[in-house]
C-alpha cells in the first residue's frame, strides 16, 4: 500500500484508509463484534494504517471495537476519532456540544475505549455555533500539549471556521463528503486547504455505496439505515442518478477495473494530500477498494471522466434539511 502525508503535518498514512462507522452505525444492524475485529485486522494485513471512528458511532460501540481490534497492532496504525456531541435521554439523540470541559471529558472516554495513551487525529465532528472555534482549537491545543492528542482535525467545517481554527493551532486534516457525485468541496474547501497546507479526508467516497453500481433504482432501506431519509436515495433520485453509475461502469470496464475502484482512483488523482476512507463490512469489498490505490488514471482518463460527468445531473440533496444545517459552518 502506498502512503500519503496529510498536508504539512508529517502525518503519514496509507493512501486509502478504512472508515469504520458502518460496522456499527448508520447502515443497518451492527456487524458481529468478532467479524468487525477480523475485518479491521485484515485491513492492517493489507497495508491500511489509517482508521476512522467516532464516539457518536453507536454511540461508543464503534470506538470499543476499533480499540480492541487495533490494540495488538497499535504501533503500526493511525487512529482518528471525533468529539462534538452529547446524547439525549434515549442515548441516541445527538446534541451539539463542543464546550471545552466536554471535549476533555470526551477525549478521556475515547482514550479508554480505544485502549491507547494518545489519539493520533482528533476531529471536531460538527461545528458548534454556541462555542467559538478559537475555544475549541485552544482546548485541543491543550490536549496536544498534554500528550493525549497528536493532531487536530475538523469535519464538515466551512472555510472561515477552518482559517480561524488553523490560526490558533495547525489543523492537520479536514474531513468532509467528497466523491464523483458530491463535488462541492472543489469550490472553496480544497483551495483553502491547499493554501494552508491541510490534508483532506473524504468520507462517503463511494456515495454511500451508490457508486459501486450495486444499488438498483428499486432499492429500499430499513429504518436503521441512514439512507432511508436521504433525499438522494429516494426512488425518484435513484432512478435519475443511475445515469452516473452507467457512465462510471463503462469507464471502469475499459480499464479492467470496477466502478468503485475508478471512483476512488479519481479522488486520489485530485491531490496528493487527499486520503479517502471508504467503509465496508465485507472482506471482498475491502480488497476491491484497496485495489484502487494501484489504479493510475492518466490525464486522458481524467478528461474522459470529466466530460462524462458534465453530461450527468445528480438529483437529490445529500442530507435531510436538519442535518444539512450542521455542515459548512
CATH number for the domain harbouring residue 126: 3.20.20.100
Does residue 133 belong to any structural domain of this protein? yes
Number of structural domains (the chain) is: 1
Active-site annotation, residues? 57
Task: Decide if 94 is inside a domain.
Answer: yes
| Structural domain contains residue 260 | no
pLDDT in tens, 71-80: 999 999 999 9
Q: Is residue 243 part of a domain?
A: no
Question: Is 300 a member of any domain?
Answer: no
Encode pLDDT of 218-262 as tens digits: 999 998 999 999 999 999 999 999 999 999 999 999 999 999 999
- The contacts of residue 68 (CB under 8 Å, 6+ apart) are 33, 37, 115
Yes or no: say if 66 and 79 are a contact pair by the CB < 8 Å rule: yes
Any residues with CB less than 8 A from the CB of 170 and at least 6 apart, and which? 8, 9, 152
Residue 44 maps to a domain: yes
> pLDDT by residue (tens digit) across 106-151?
999 999 999 999 999 999 999 999 999 999 999 999 999 999 999 9
pLDDT at 105 over 90: yes
C-alpha distance from residue 154 to each of 81, 109, 140, 273 (Å): 11, 19, 11, 16
Whole-angstrom distance, CA of residue 250 vs CA of residue 238: 18
Answer whether residue 184 is part of any domain. Answer: yes
Domain limits for position 120: 3-206+272-294
* Structure confidence at residue 301 (pLDDT): 93
Per-residue confidence band for 92, with pLDDT thresholds at 50, 70 and 90: confident
Looking at the domain assignment, is residue 211 inside a domain? no
Amino acid at each position: 500500500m502506498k502512503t500519503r502525508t496529510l498536508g504539512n503535518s508529517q502525518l503519514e498514512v496509507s493512501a486509502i484508509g478504512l472508515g469504520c462507522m458502518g460496522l456499527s452505525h448508520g447502515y443497518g444492524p451492527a456487524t458481529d463484534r468478532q467479524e468487525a475485529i477480523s475485518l479491521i485486522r485484515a485491513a492492517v494485513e493489507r497495508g491500511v494504517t489509517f482508521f476512522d471512528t467516532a464516539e457518536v458511532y453507536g454511540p461508543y460501540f464503534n470506538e470499543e471495537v476499533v480499540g480492541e481490534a487495533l490494540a495488538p497492532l497499535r504501533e503500526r496504525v493511525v487512529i482518528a476519532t471525533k468529539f462534538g456531541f452529547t446524547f439525549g435521554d434515549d442515548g441516541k439523540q445527538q446534541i451539539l456540544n463542543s464546550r471545552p470541559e466536554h471535549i476533555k471529558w470526551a477525549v478521556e472516554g475515547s482514550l479508554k475505549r480505544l485502549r491507547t495513551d494518545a489519539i493520533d487525529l482528533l476531529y471536531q465532528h460538527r461545528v458548534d455555533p454556541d462555542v467559538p472555534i478559537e475555544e475549541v482549537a485552544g482546548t485541543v491545543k491543550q490536549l496536544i500539549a498534554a500528550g493525549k492528542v497528536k493532531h487536530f482535525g475538523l469535519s464538515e467545517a466551512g472555510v472561515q471556521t477552518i482559517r480561524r481554527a488553523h490560526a490558533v493551532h495547525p489543523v492537520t486534516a479536514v474531513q468532509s463528503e467528497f466523491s464523483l457525485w458530491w463535488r462541492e468541496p472543489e469550490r472553496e474547501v480544497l483551495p483553502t486547504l491547499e493554501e494552508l497546507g491541510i490534508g483532506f479526508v473524504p468520507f462517503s467516497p463511494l456515495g454511500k455505496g451508490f457508486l459501486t453500481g450495486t444499488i438498483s433504482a428499486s432499492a429500499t432501506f430499513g429504518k436503521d439505515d441512514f439512507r432511508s431519509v436521504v433525499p438522494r436515495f429516494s426512488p425518484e433520485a435513484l432512478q435519475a442518478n443511475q445515469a452516473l453509475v452507467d457512465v462510471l461502469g463503462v469507464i471502469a470496464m475499459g480499464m479492467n477495473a470496477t466502478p468503485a475502484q475508478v471512483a476512488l482512483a479519481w479522488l486520489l488523482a485530485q491531490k496528493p494530500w487527499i486520503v479517502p476512507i471508504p467503509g465496508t463490512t465485507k472482506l471482498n469489498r475491502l480488497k476491491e477498494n484497496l485495489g484502487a490505490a494501484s489504479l493510475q488514471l492518466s490525464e486522458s482518463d481524467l478528461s474522459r471522466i470529466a466530460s462524462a460527468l458534465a453530461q450527468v445531473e445528480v438529483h437529490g440533496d445529500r442530507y435531510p434539511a436538519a442535518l444539512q444545517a450542521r455542515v459548512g459552518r
